[in-house]
Structure 1
Amino acid sequence: MAVRKPAAHVDSWYSRSATPSPARPALGGRIRCDVAVMGAGLSGLSAALELAEAGLDVVVLEAERVGWGASGRNGGQVIFGFGCDQSKIAAMLGPEESKRLFDWSVEGVELVKQRIARHGIDAHWRDGHAHVAIKPRHVAELKGWQADLANNYGYAVDWWEREQLQAVLPSPRYIGALFDPRSGHLHPLNYTLGVARAAEAAGARIFERSEVLSLTRGARPVLRTASGEVEAGFVVLAGNALAHGIAPELDSKIMPVGTYVGATEPLGEERARALIRNDMAVADINWALDYFRLSADHRLLFGGRASYSTLPPPNLPGVMTGRLRRVFPQLADVKFEQVWGGLIDISLNRAPHWGRLGDNVYFAQGFSGHGVAATGLAGRVIAEAIRGQASRLDAFARIPHRPFPGGRALRTPLLVAAMAWYKLRDALW
């Protein structure tokens, strides 16, 4: 088979503003190592970094470029918790286990900050994140969440009434906010590239343009590409939404969903700062939510819209522009310079799906749009398990996961129909 040609990162504000990163070679021939990782996104690279720093020989295989998938083109918001409400995890595992998992999610946020500082990553980190309310039911929901976080998880966040919020975020759309000073936002591609450099500095080897075509399980599993293979004592599967057919029992537990982000033309520092005066990241709590933040060069980075069919919505720039102007009517003269998208993986219950297949194949998937911090935690937890400390991975593995209904033929249209109901709920209630 022919060796794949070099791939560029998807065109985005992130790829245009990223720290230069040299292309890495494709895998050629057969090599042996302690741990082979499929996927050079944040979960795979986090595992590789932790394991290489512990002295293990680690090889990472990436189908395209480091950070080519969701890790390098997401909304850049770094938030505690997981893709589902913590109450759902409490219902599945009990309050004590839920508290442990929540505390670990906070560790995931802190881990991002620690890696930026330790490895000198130019990730444009900014403190602060707000979940904002559009409707009275959102206010009740956010205040209930605030009480639950304080009473059951020992985590304090601030409630802002409309006047306090307006002083920071002058948008007529929002009537209150739950503000967390410990969460924040960053340049996700720069962060991912920085974690890759740190893993390589610790001894990991990363091969790009090396799509994994098959996994042979056994005492020493083997990952095969078009031009080589890696035999290892352990394998970590971290392909998420972009992987298919490598471990079929995992495929039915996640669905790919298209998400989209746009970057406006430069606004200038004064105009940009007038939109978000404390430079926080913002997200509403609709099912089909909007989320946004400022870039380091004074653009507005605005995400909103999801495609459960994985097909880009018609007239995507126009749709995104309409959503932007509902939030900031004062930007009626501003256009998007770029709009890009990609696939994330969601689980049926939106909870993280991490665990092992047999004794030596590990996986992390189901980040459900909440992965910048959780991916780093997943890599650390898997690395601990490979090194013999599996208690944290076992806790995540106890979360029950069911396959999406309908099989491969019907599960996408069924999901599209279900999401239509939630979007109608956003509009009417």
Structure 2
Amino acid sequence: MKNQGFEQSYYAHSANQNLTFYTLNDSHETDVCIIGAGYTGLSAAIHLAKKGYRVSLLEAHKIGTGASGRNGGQICQGLNMSHDKLTEKLGRDHADALWQMSVESVDLVKELVAEFKIDCDLKSGLLHVASKASHEEDARHTIDYLNKELDYPQASFINAQDLSQKLGTNKYFGAEYYAEGGHLHPHNYALGLAKAAQQLGVKIFQDSPVMDYQGGQKPQVNCAKATVKADYLLFACNGYLGKLNPIAAKKIMPINNFILATEPLPETIYNAINPDDLAVADSKFVVNYFRLSADKRMLWGGGENYSSRFPKDIASFVKKHMLEVYPQLKAFKIDYSWGGTLAITLNRMPYFGRQEGNTFVAQGYSGHGVAMATLGGKLMAEAVSGTAERFDVFANVPNHNFPGGTLLRWPGLVSGMLYYKLRDKLS
């Protein structure tokens, strides 16, 4: 059994491309410098290159090996804050615009996959399942609201009896079904975006961590061996930002999440537990999420921690959650287990912002990163090119600093998370 970092993940071992990128060794000038080659940075690079901008993209490690290459691979419409709560806080027009862009974010992933012929096992269909009886009514209300208030018929409610046929378990009390949601191989999607960006003329540099930068009207980024001067600077680092941008760092909390992959399952098993090949996420505060890989492994994500270290035995840490739902999987070997770091915000809404001069930030996707980060890159490209209205739809959502900033955010977060984890265990 392998665990811990990206290189030991199932995604690393099933990568379908071997792209060549170089380290930044020569100083140069460009129109736009992007820090971070995950979905946000790669999408921004693609959309800027299409508009004719010269783009340099800097990645501290290997392309797509951060959260963009480690996550659960699920895509779905919607945000962590419901439309009715957004309406209450921001007004109906603003809430409607946010909802429509969440729908667009999923469509954008599909469009990029089709446009650049990205081989990433893209599949349709996602279930958000009710883990408690008390969550069933919430699910029914959500679907009714989507159908009637937002005129979105692509979502429907599935009752507990029908759901048990779809998932081969009686653990859930119903589900929201998103026909236009789905799942994909996240690392191969990232590699496909990187190849597309490279073909469009983007200069991509990996193993090129940024040491510091100067903002303003003519930003400069400093790496170990070279500098990049640009007209615009985009931060697309998310949970791997560290202390590089102190203002943006106060808006997010990096947390760790973990996934395992079983050995390939026999047909009798996968046809019993997920015959329609759907992505699934539950309604707990600390979410469990799962799906089948293209070669019919169970990919199960579950459990979080809030330290700088991963558990010593990730497989055991995650497996207990899987066996609560599917005890029959105890007989199958765990081939891979790994973790990754994502960024959450206080209100669980993405943080988009414009800093001094020509510096932009998009981060804090709080578990909706595959689709929303892809859209985030597109919106940053729009803002750079002079059309910032859609970027501002997110930038104008109030998003406060964590209390105590980066120094004191950990104790408060851990206390809060422990409280909600306790609630997850109670019926």
TM > 0.5 fold call:
yes
CA distance in 1, matches of 2:125, 2:425: 28
Which of 138, 143, 146 lines up with 2:135 in the alignment? 138
Question: How far did residue 316 of structure 1 move?
Answer: 2.9
**Which residue number in structure 2 is paired with residue 91 of structure 1?**
88
**Which residue number in structure 1 is paired with residue 369 of structure 2?**
371
Q: Which amino acid aligns with 1:217?
A: G
Structure 1 position 154 matched with structure 2 position 151? yes
**Which residue number in structure 2 is paired with residue 305 of structure 1?**
303
Question: How far did residue 314 of structure 1 move?
Answer: 5.5
Which of 404, 420, 423 lines up with 2:421 in the alignment? 423
Structure 1 position 383 matched with structure 2 position 355? no
Q: Which amino acid aligns with 2:51?
A: A
CA distance in 2, matches of 1:92, 1:342: 32
CA distance in 1, matches of 2:177, 2:310: 32
Q: Is the Cα–Cα contact under 8 Å of residues 262 and 334 in structure 2 kept in the other structure?
A: yes
Structure 1, residues 266-305: CA drift from partner, whole Å, max 9, x if none? 1133422321010000011100121100000110000010
Structure 1, residues 88-140: CA drift from partner, whole Å, max 9, x if none? 43233112111111111111101111111111111101100001112111101
Unaligned runs of 5+ in 2: none
Question: How far did residue 220 of structure 1 move?
Answer: 1.1
Task: State percent identity of aligned pairs.
Answer: 40
Q: For residue 29 of structure 1, give the secondary structure of its aligned residue in structure 2.
A: coil
**Which residue number in structure 1 is paired with residue 224 of structure 2?**
226
**Which residue number in structure 1 is paired with residue 109 of structure 2?**
112
Q: Is the Cα–Cα contact under 8 Å of residues 6 and 338 in structure 2 kept in the other structure?
A: no
Which of 66, 81, 84 lines up with 1:69 in the alignment? 66
CA distance in 2, matches of 1:277, 1:301: 15
Question: How far did residue 324 of structure 1 move?
Answer: 1.0
Unaligned runs of 5+ in 1: 1-7
Matches of residues 12-411 of structure 1 in structure 2 within 5 Å? Answer: 12-156=9-153, 157-313=155-311, 315-411=313-409
Change (3 A) 1:373 1:358: same
Q: Which amino acid aligns with 1:42?
A: Y
Question: How far did residue 9 of structure 1 move?
Answer: 4.5
CA RMSD of aligned residues (A): 1.4
Q: Is the Cα–Cα contact under 8 Å of residues 92 and 399 in structure 1 kept in the other structure?
A: no
Q: Is the Cα–Cα contact under 8 Å of residues 23 and 65 in structure 1 kept in the other structure?
A: no
Question: How far did residue 246 of structure 1 move?
Answer: 2.5
Q: Which amino acid aligns with 2:294?
A: A
Question: How far did residue 396 of structure 1 move?
Answer: 1.0
Q: Is the Cα–Cα contact under 8 Å of residues 128 and 182 in structure 1 kept in the other structure?
A: yes
CA distance in 1, matches of 2:378, 2:312: 39
Structure 1, residues 134-177: CA drift from partner, whole Å, max 9, x if none? 21111011111112222332223111111211221111211211
Q: Which amino acid aligns with 1:264?
A: T
TM normalised by structure 1 equals 0.95
CA distance in 2, matches of 1:117, 1:167: 32
Q: Is the Cα–Cα contact under 8 Å of residues 258 and 338 in structure 2 kept in the other structure?
A: yes
Q: Which amino acid aligns with 1:178?
A: E
Q: Is the Cα–Cα contact under 8 Å of residues 87 and 94 in structure 2 kept in the other structure?
A: yes
CA distance in 1, matches of 2:133, 2:267: 33
Structure 1, residues 191-228: CA drift from partner, whole Å, max 9, x if none? 00001111111111100001011111122101111011
Question: How far did residue 245 of structure 1 move?
Answer: 2.6
CA distance in 1, matches of 2:228, 2:350: 28
Structure 1, residues 19-63: CA drift from partner, whole Å, max 9, x if none? 122331100121111110000000000000000011110000000
Q: Which amino acid aligns with 2:410?
A: T
CA distance in 2, matches of 1:302, 1:83: 21
Number of aligned residue pairs: 422
Q: Which amino acid aligns with 2:157?
A: W
Poorly superposed stretches of 4+, deviation over 4 Å: none
Q: Is the Cα–Cα contact under 8 Å of residues 310 and 343 in structure 1 kept in the other structure?
A: no
Structure 1, residues 296-339: CA drift from partner, whole Å, max 9, x if none? 01100000101123432454322322111111122221232111
